[in-house]
Amino acid sequence: MTLTPRTTTERPDLPDELPAGAGRAAAGIAVVLVAQLMLVLDTTVVNVALPRIDADLGFGPASLSWVLNGYTLAFGGLLLLGGRLGDIAGRRRVFVLGLGLFTLASLLGGLAPTPEALVAARAGQGVGAALAAPGVLALLVTSAPDEAARNRALALFSAVTSAGISIGLILGGVLTDLGSWRWTLFINVPIGIAVLVLVTCLVDETERRPGRFDVLGAVTATLGSVSLVWALIGTPEHGWTSPRTLGGFALGLALLALLARTELRVPHPLVQPALLRDRSRVASLLVMALVVGGQLSMFFLVVQYVQGVLGFGPLAAGAAFLPLSLGIFAMSRLTPRLVAVFGPARLMMVGTLGLTASFVLLSNVGEGGTYATAVLVPMIVNGLSAGLVFMPVTVTVMNGVAPHHAGSASGLLQTMQQLGSAVGLAAIVSVYAAGAVPGAFVPGARAAFLTSAAFTATAFMVTAVVLRRRPAEQAVPAPEETAEPLVTAELESDLAA
């Protein structure tokens, strides 16, 4: 494959006809994206319903957070395992298994009679999501009939993933206000069944990769990730220097160090070392973690502001995030073309600067503000900027990955998203609590929004220093060329070994 740089004056000839099977592939991509939206929604769809859940089941303030944490812990801890299982056992097979478990756990959660049953069901959802989610991105990459379709699919994946959190707040508000909190879980059941039926008809199974499964790598990756996420989600309650937090960090880092040692020695590692030898990929993973961590202030602090200060109810609070979602989806229509012209690094630089500006604007919120004056403009800027970041990051991470390692790369990317989310939420909540004044929202929120700005400003610096390339080095394949992902020299040597 020959790489050719794009310029603003060049326009490649359009193909005379669609590739064979393009219609079926497009339908399969759409079905897989619906599943991705459902998995992402569940990170926030129950947020606005928490007061109703507490009143119905009697959780109490100390344990209510586990309705969210049970899902996050299982999802973030098992993603690497889910990605590698898909590479070995077949991505569609593992995707169907994970989505089936997720759907069943959603039904059980909606029927939960006790707090313990609901937390267990949420953990079951997390396990199912961890098995299914890596397969989504891998199936998109390998199912697209050509490079142009692949980039469009990645743009939609990024839009669905980044906007799904705010859509979850909207949907959760609608279902809670008009029905019951239980419908935030029941709604997954018919959608999950429909996706399970359609995916078997529209998406082909991938080739299974022979070889022994890396059991030690699976155990250390899972327990290490779970330990880190567990320590992070407890920091707002227990503090950064508590024995619980320090012990969780120490155990998690020790297990991940053992994972790194193991992966360099086994013939079929859980995490391909070659994936982490590419400086651009590692930098993009770090940018993803930082940006996702910064975005958590939008969903933790802005929700409290519009409800606690502006007096919005659950439905109105969810609808308040509509400009953010629309901004992301609107930009996702443009990013494939912009990446082809300017390259991913430039878009990431502009996007991270825009995100930083949106958080600085939000840090000026006041008790006497209104939605239009305090929230609307920063939210629009944030949505458009996020749309400029997520698709280029995904393209950079997945570029150069051989098809049979796409599941591992996808699991690695989404693991960084989950770890970034946990780190960001822990940092933002800690800063907010340190500056808060009892009965007043604004004092602690200002410093917390600036913490988010620091996250995204750091992402900008990483992009500017590590990822910026000369125009010739930012070339992307022309649409008429093959969609087969490039294989880096490092990956070739690793596969040969």
Phi, psi for 23 (deg, rounded to 5):
-65, -45
- Which residues are 437's β-sheet partners? 440
**CA dihedral for 481, 485, 489, 495, sign (positive or negative):** negative
Q: Determine the Cα–Cα distance for residues 163 and 41; give it in Å rounded to an integer.
A: 9
95-132 as b/e, with b when 16 or more CB fall inside 10 Å? bbbbbbbbbbbbebbbebeebeebbbbbbbbbbbbbbb
What is the reported pLDDT for 347?
93
Q: Where are the alpha helices (DSSP H) in 305-376?
A: 314-319, 322-332, 335-342, 344-362
pLDDT above 90 covers what percent of the chain?
24
Residue 345 near residue 459, CB atoms below 8 Å: no
Phi, psi for 437 (deg, rounded to 5):
-115, 130
pLDDT band at 492 (very low <50, low <70, confident <90, very high): very low
What is the reported pLDDT for 381?
96
Dump pLDDT digits (tens) for 428-473: 888 887 777 776 777 788 888 999 999 999 999 999 988 765 443 4
Question: Which of 293, 288, 497, 281 shows the shortest CA–CA distance to 408?
Answer: 281
User: 160 or 142, which is more confident?
Assistant: 160
What is the reported pLDDT for 348?
94
What does DSSP assign to residue 376? I
Question: Which of 421, 415, 380, 382 shows the shortest CA–CA distance to 296?
Answer: 421
What is the reported pLDDT for 469?
55
pLDDT, mean of residues 228-251: 85
List the Cα angle 263/489/276 in 5-degree steps. 35
Question: Which of 75, 118, 69 shows the shortest CA–CA distance to 238?
Answer: 69
Measured in whole angstroms, the distance separating CA 22 from the mean position of its chain's CA atoms is: 27
Residue 109 near residue 185, CB atoms below 8 Å: yes
107 Cβ contact partners less than 8 Å away, ≥ 6 residues apart? 185, 186, 188, 189
- Tell me: pLDDT of 496 over 60: no
Measured in whole angstroms, the distance separating CA 217 from the mean position of its chain's CA atoms is: 23
User: 4 or 104, which is more confident?
Assistant: 104
User: 238 or 375, which is more confident?
Assistant: 375
Residues 41, 47, 52, 56, Cα dihedral to 10°: 80
- Tell me: pLDDT of 167 over 70: yes
What does DSSP assign to residue 112? -
User: 189 or 1, which is more confident?
Assistant: 189
pTM as predicted: 0.76
Residue type, 178: L
Residue 184 near residue 175, CB atoms below 8 Å: yes
What is the reported pLDDT for 6?
45
- Tell me: pLDDT of 397 over 80: yes
- Which residues are 476's β-sheet partners? 4
CATH architecture, domain 23-205+268-496: Up-down Bundle (1.20)
pLDDT band at 11 (very low <50, low <70, confident <90, very high): very low
- Tell me: pLDDT of 266 over 60: yes
What is the reported pLDDT for 263?
79
Q: What would the two tokens of residue 354 be?
A: 């825009």
Q: Determine the Cα–Cα distance for residues 261 and 482; give it in Å rounded to an integer.
A: 36
- Tell me: pLDDT of 10 over 60: no
Dump pLDDT digits (tens) for 399-432: 877 777 777 788 888 888 888 887 888 888 888 8
40 Cβ contact partners less than 8 Å away, ≥ 6 residues apart? 160, 161, 164, 165, 168
Residue type, 301: L
- Tell me: pLDDT of 202 over 50: yes
Min mean pLDDT across 202-211, 295-304, 387-396 is at: 202-211
SS3 4: strand
Dump pLDDT digits (tens) for 279-338: 889 999 999 999 998 988 787 788 878 878 888 877 788 788 889 888 988 888 888 889
pLDDT band at 60 (very low <50, low <70, confident <90, very high): low
What is the reported pLDDT for 81?
82
What is the reported pLDDT for 457?
96
List the Cα angle 422/168/448 in 5-degree steps. 40
What is the reported pLDDT for 2?
42
pLDDT, mean of residues 10-26: 52
The whole-chain average pLDDT of the chain stands at: 80
pLDDT band at 481 (very low <50, low <70, confident <90, very high): very low
Count Cβ atoms below 10 Å from residue 213 Cβ, excluding itself.
Answer: 14
Question: Which of 308, 310, 283, 295 shows the shortest CA–CA distance to 378?
Answer: 295
Dump pLDDT digits (tens) for 96-144: 999 999 999 999 999 999 999 999 999 999 999 989 988 887 787 776 6
